[in-house]
Amino acid sequence: METSDILKGNKVIAEFMGAISNTHPWGYLIPDGELNLSFDLFDKKVFSNDGGSGWKIEELKFHSSWDWLMQVVEKIESMLPDGFCVFIQHSDCFIEHPDIGISGKSSDKQESTWQACVEFIEWYNEKNK
């Protein structure tokens, strides 16, 4: 994967998980290039950083950490009244529902799962504008 694709995809995921950029809920600005994941998810150690501020976009680990990525999978599965089905098998990941069928396109299981999550979130955001 290209670094630019990783940064873009991780930002899409972070915003889906509740991150905000450049505006903090207490009224001060987060520096450019940072996202605040702590305002809603601070109790989850997987997302908190030692500084307690925000994460720089290049520090996000959704593409490289199963701990981070599985939080995204769990949120996707819990959506809607009946949720979406996320299947991870061998090196494939599929996200299915009567309205959609998305699959990751990689021979690496984690990369395939990350790709499917990014594609799902982009579809979901477009559908719910």
pTM to 2 decimals?
0.81
**pLDDT tens string 66-122:** 989 999 999 999 987 777 999 999 999 999 988 889 998 889 999 999 999 999 999
| Strands of the 20-21 sheet, one edge to the other | 20-21, 34-36, 55-56
Helices marked H in 35-83 — which ranges? 38-41, 66-78
CB 61 within 8 A of CB 6: no
